[in-house]
Amino acid sequence: MDFVTAVGLLLLACVSYLWFQYKNNLQTRSTHGSRREDCAAEESQEGKVSLNRQPLEILYPGPTDPDKIKIDIVAVHGLGSDVNWSWAWKNGAKCVHWLKDPEMLPAIIPNARIMAYSYESRWHRNASKTRLELCGEELARNMHNFRTNIPDRPVIFIAHSLGGLVVLHALLYADRTDELKYLPARTVGFAALGTPFRGTKMQSLAEIVARLLAPVGSHDGIITELKQDAKSLTDKVHAFDYGKKLSIPGLFRGRVVDEESAHVPGWERAGLNTDHFNLNKFPAPDDRSFLAVSNEIRNIILILQVTQKSHFIVPFGRNEDFVGREPILQQLLERIPPSANKDDCQRTAVEGLGGVGKTQVALEAAYRVRDEYPACSVFWVPAVDSINFEKAYREIGKTLCVQGLDDDQADVKSLVKAALSRASVGSWLLIVDNADDLKLLFTDPVLADYLPFNRKGSILFTTRNHEAAVRLNIRPIITVKEMSDAEATELLQTGLKENQTSDTKTEKDIPISLLPSGKDELEEGEEEEDEEEKEEGEKDELEKDEAIGILKGYAFILERENPDAFDIHRLVRLAMRNWIKEQQ
């Protein structure tokens, strides 16, 4: 028998089989039919979506407490399949639906909610005029509508055959649609069972059959893309091959579909000991194919738990010689942990003269929060200029796997702000260091606009500028003043050799930030001079008040208990001395 004859007979057999199936269904409907002994209580036509069926049907609801549901699993059936039996193994009267059987997948992942997605996948008769791309868009929209109150819950897709391409189109569509961008970001796993990601050689035959059956409602739109190595499908796969960027691990299973077509490079794959039509049906908990698939899904969840752990991005090591400042640290530790106020994203500021030790206090607070609240992430952002601010945000974004950072036109600050504003990111403390420059904070590019809001978050600022703290709507503002005599003595002793500590005369008010610069620079920590001289002569009092106000606003001076006495920053003293010399 030659090849042409064989193909002709095969076509004739296919057409005959499909025609008799069509006639049988017509007869069944005319006599109201008898219900098949099936797993489902209700069975629709093969591949046809019932008008009364919801697009997403919950098969296993998970824990009764919604807060204990950690992940959604969505199963998408294949070409020409029916959602009722796509996931059910049958042998006579015995039936096992592995997605909802309490001994199957629910036993492996008890804290998951498992659903089946139903869509029009018929092509050989009474087929809707649709395309894979439209099926994908519909899936994305239905997921969005169904999960309105829980958009941040992670998702794993399980797809058989054509269903994998529907998922592919859904995620690509969501990624280019602003209101749906969160869906690929929250998709943490994709188990594709025999999906022809590069098409199939059988597509041409199916297309011919579809055209022959056009009189009974067949339509080839949904199978057009399935031609092997079709450019349109290849382009989609290449676009979706950014799965690594989305952190979507892949699981590919296939027998009838060519191994090359069933696999996307860079993703995990394995073979199951069954045929294409049983890749998604498993008879028992100890079935080897079920164990292979369920273990991969469980591994995805284990990876998710690891990636959701807390992060600690602080550019400085801990100062082992840190001393003093305990009252200030206690104030901070009562305020800055996100759990301190579950109804707000609290903002706290540490204010003081330059060099008085604000950054060191914030640094020690960061390490103590890490030690006391291991589930809380800590991020450090310098606000000295917009370049360093964005650089720190980009590093945070990469750590959180924020999508779109590699785009040349990406607004990195907005992307990271959105990521930190999601509840799914967990609790965090954001430390904004050196938030002094009003122009930088409140004029173009207005860095203050990129501060996230999350009831699981907290922001700590260090600043010399009181006005900046006020305009950032910060309560409370904690002032860091000079060290006490005891603190200064303890600090000095930590940096001196034993034979140097016998000197009974100790320096007063040494700023804590001097330690990192080394012992040989301790001489710079000389006593802050009291400015107790009142203005003399006929200098205008208004000018004096204005000058003092400016200096206080930038934290160049701090008022003491005596309203006429101030702690003055060394730079101000230096400027005053230079001015006096010039006047002389």
Q: Are residues 447 and 558 part of one domain?
A: no
Region of residue 192 (left: phi > 0; alpha: psi -120 to 50; beta: else): beta
**pTM, full prediction:** 0.48
Kindly state whether residues 280 and 171 are assigned to the same domain.
yes
* Total domains in the fold of the chain: 4
Please check whether residue 522 lies inside any domain of the structure.
Answer: no
CB-count burial class (<10 Å; 0-12, 13-18, 19+) for 490: middle
259 and 167 in one domain? yes
Please indicate, yes or no, whether residues 135 and 71 belong to a single structural domain of this protein: yes
Q: Please check whether residues 284 and 428 belong to one and the same domain.
A: no
Phi-psi bin for 513: left (phi > 0), alpha (psi -120 to 50), beta?
Answer: alpha
Residue 246 · residue 402 · CB < 8 Å: no
- Structural domain ending residue among the three candidates 480, 497, 514: 480
Quote the pLDDT of residue 492: 52
289-298: burial string, b at 16+ Cβ within 10 Å, e else: bbebbbebbe
Tens digit of pLDDT per residue, the chain (584 long)? 455 555 554 555 565 455 545 545 544 444 333 333 445 444 444 444 445 678 899 999 999 988 788 899 999 988 766 777 789 988 888 889 999 999 999 999 999 999 999 887 654 444 444 577 888 899 999 999 999 888 778 899 998 888 888 888 888 888 888 888 888 878 888 888 877 655 444 434 334 433 433 343 333 334 344 444 444 444 544 444 333 333 333 443 333 344 444 444 444 555 555 554 567 888 999 988 888 888 888 887 876 765 566 899 998 888 777 766 788 899 999 999 988 887 889 899 999 887 778 888 999 999 999 988 888 999 999 999 999 999 999 999 988 878 788 888 889 999 999 989 887 788 899 999 999 999 999 987 789 999 999 988 999 999 989 999 999 988 789 988 765 555 555 555 554 444 444 444 444 444 444 444 433 433 443 344 444 444 445 556 777 777 776 666 555 666 666 666 776 766 677 777 777 877 77
Distance (Å, rounded) from C-alpha 181 to C-alpha 173? 9
Q: Which residues, including other chains, have CB under 8 Å from residue 233's CB and lie 6 or more apart?
A: 165, 197, 198, 199, 225, 226, 227
Q: Answer with the one of 291, 307, 323 that is the final residue of a domain.
A: 307
Is there a single domain that holds both residue 423 and residue 540?
no
CA–CA dist 500, 506 (Å, integer) = 11
Domain span at residue 460?
312-480
Picking from 255, 278, 307, the residue at the C-terminal end of a domain is 307
Does residue 514 lie within any of the structural domains?
no
Q: How many CA atoms lie within 13 A of 379 on its CB side?
A: 29
What pLDDT score was predicted for residue 25? Answer: 54
What is the torsion angle, in degrees rounded to the nearest 10, for the CA atoms of residue 208, residue 213, residue 214 and residue 218? Answer: -90
528 found inside a domain: no
